Amino acid sequence: MSTSEPAKKPRGRQFFANPGPTSIPDSVLLATAHQTVDFNDPNFIAVYEACIAGLKRVLKTRQEIFLYTGSGHAAWEASLVNLLSPGDTILILESGYFSLSWAAMAADLGVEVQSVAADWRRGVDLGALREALAADKGHAIKAVCVVHNETATGMMIPLPEVRAALDATGHPALFLADTISSLGSLDFRMDEWGVDACVGGSQKGLMLPTGMSFTGVSAKGMAAHAASTLPKHYFNWTNMLKRPHRSFVGTVPVSFFYGLQESLRLIEQEEGLENVFARHTRLARAVRAAVQHWSGNNGPQLFCLNPGRYSDSVTAILMPEGYDADALRAVALQKFNLSLGGGLGPLGGKVFRIGHLGDLNEPMILGTLATVELAMKTAGVPHTPGGVQAALDALA
């Protein structure tokens, strides 16, 4: 037998425990496999309008929503170019890799970026946000940008407290929230929390393929848009409002809407949005119980050190000193067909991530945790065995 023979395809399903894209339910996959239709066909328009209404219910908003063919980065860019003008200042709450990336995008677009620095393991001090807003007497800050759920570190930032900081200081800045890894997994209330623009994507809690993203926009956001002068065309909300679909400058990606219609049916009718959140909380607790158990004996530990801000959609796990997270991930993938998320930016090789969002149940979580424990044993990573039992105890 030749040694250069390709690796055999493993039997059984791959366990896909990445924090997005996430596994797609079979019924959504089937719904997406729809024959092409004219996007102005009245039958499609009915599906489209039902999807927009459903998406607004998930965002908990009655305001505008604009959609783009593009991943979450597209919605990030759309929110900035539609609300700001060259030289405007934004204040971004540092949370991890994704907050830095959004800030870098803003800088590239000609926006001045101020940030509230944070220890990524403990999370931003919202007192520092209040101080920064109070110090900005001339209201130079046009927008405060927050990643609701920092996918890179497994930390959730309490958005009502950000709103309270804006209100307490009487600061008129727009409130922008990235809901990419929270929407459809953690509670998010655009209108109640006074969010002016929220950014979401298809491939996480909505359980769709990657490639469609959107922005919910408040009336205050629309007024800011009217005055904004950053260059834009495909993302221009004014151009979109003139289109029959009030979105998509160009071809409407119809297949997504057949998938979205089904995913909204699963979320709202089959399970119920509040039950979706409860399931995420339950499964997340089991994951954390396992990791906290493993952490004995110098094992891997929760990256997030702030229990009040644990994310219920993703857990980042810090490896013991001297052990490489990517080597462990390679064992999990190559030997056991389990795909785990890697560390991003400065956390590369130091952290691995378990995504627990979307189409997920107890057996899938327990299978993932058992396989992580098996991979640690196989790779010689120190840990206290029995994390799966701790997860069972959390679930029972």
20 near ligand PLP, judged by CB under 6 A? yes
73 near ligand PLP, judged by CB under 6 A? yes
Closer CB to ligand PLP, 98 or 256, in the complex:
98
Instruction: Judge whether 159 and 309 are in contact, CB under 8 Å.
Output: no
Query: How near is the Cβ of 149 to ligand PLP at its closest, in Å?
Result: 6
Query: How near is the Cβ of 98 to ligand PLP at its closest, in Å?
Result: 4
Cα–Cα distance measured from residue 194 to residue 346, given in angstroms and rounded to the nearest whole number: 33
Query: How near is the Cβ of 217 to ligand PLP at its closest, in Å?
Result: 18
Closer CB to ligand PLP, 101 or 228, in the complex:
101
Interface mask (CB under 6 A) for ligand PLP, residues 139-168, using x and -?
--------x---x-----------------
What residues form DSSP beta bridges with 82? none
69 near ligand PLP, judged by CB under 6 A? no
Closer CB to ligand PLP, 74 or 230, in the complex:
74
Amino acid at 116: V
Query: How near is the Cβ of 154 to ligand PLP at its closest, in Å?
Result: 11
- The residue within the footprint of ligand PLP, chosen from 181, 255, 263, 313 (CB under 6 A), is 181
For residue 124 the two structure tokens come to 């931003």
Q: What is the DSSP string of 219-244?
A: HHHHHHHHH--S--STT-HHHHHTST
- The residue within the footprint of ligand PLP, chosen from 162, 180, 287, 290 (CB under 6 A), is 180
Residue nearest to ligand PLP (CB): 72
Cα–Cα distance measured from residue 115 to residue 112, given in angstroms and rounded to the nearest whole number: 10
Contacts of 21 (CB under 8 A, 6+ apart): 203, 204, 209, 210
201 near ligand PLP, judged by CB under 6 A? yes
Cα–Cα distance measured from residue 302 to residue 319, given in angstroms and rounded to the nearest whole number: 9
Contacts of 242 (CB under 8 A, 6+ apart): none
Cα–Cα distance measured from residue 155 to residue 313, given in angstroms and rounded to the nearest whole number: 9
Q: What is the DSSP string of 6-55?
A: PPPPPSSPPEEE-SSS----HHHHHHHSPPP--TT-HHHHHHHHHHHHHH
Closer CB to ligand PLP, 71 or 281, in the complex:
71
Q: Which stretch binds ligand PLP (CB under 6 A): 86-94, 177-185, 277-285, 324-332?
A: 177-185
* Residue 74 DSSP label: H
Cα–Cα distance measured from residue 299 to residue 308, given in angstroms and rounded to the nearest whole number: 23
Query: How near is the Cβ of 236 to ligand PLP at its closest, in Å?
Result: 20
Closer CB to ligand PLP, 295 or 311, in the complex:
311
Q: Which stretch binds ligand PLP (CB under 6 A): 27-35, 69-77, 235-243, 253-261?
A: 69-77
205 near ligand PLP, judged by CB under 6 A? no
178 near ligand PLP, judged by CB under 6 A? yes
Cα–Cα distance measured from residue 191 to residue 188, given in angstroms and rounded to the nearest whole number: 9
Closer CB to ligand PLP, 186 or 328, in the complex:
186
How many C-alpha atoms does 118 have within 13 Å on its Cβ side?
30
339 near ligand PLP, judged by CB under 6 A? no
DSSP-derived pairing of the beta strands 197-201 and 174-178 = parallel
- The residue within the footprint of ligand PLP, chosen from 72, 221, 341, 355 (CB under 6 A), is 72
* Alpha-helical runs (H) found in 337-381: 362-379
Interface positions with ligand PLP (CB under 6 A): 20, 71-73, 98, 147, 151, 178, 180-181, 201
